Structure 1
């Protein structure tokens, strides 16, 4: 996943390839294809994992709404 993120970041989604990912990881393309059908599935997995991690640190949506509704500009300055 880390290599895929790095390559997508550097080369863009269309510029990164399964071949490039597997080369940088040091595995065969067939090994990667046992876990992911294509680049789209890799990207979807990256987004799902990102969402899971952000859900761990973000407050629940009702708290975010309360924060936005009650916060003033003065509250946000150092």
Structure 2
């Protein structure tokens, strides 16, 4: 019994085409995931920002003092 390869090739090609058309459409119907909840408290961010401002103020004061004592007082 010889098998007709042309028929099986056409069946395979038809299956591939139908699969390529309908599988992406089925996957597209899934609902989108819910968005992440909004943060309820920004206390950690506020503390970090306060520490950063304090360190910047300390750097500014130290820079001012170092440059003030570094300059000669010749008028």
TM-score normalised by structure 1 residue count = 0.27
Rg bigger for which structure? 2
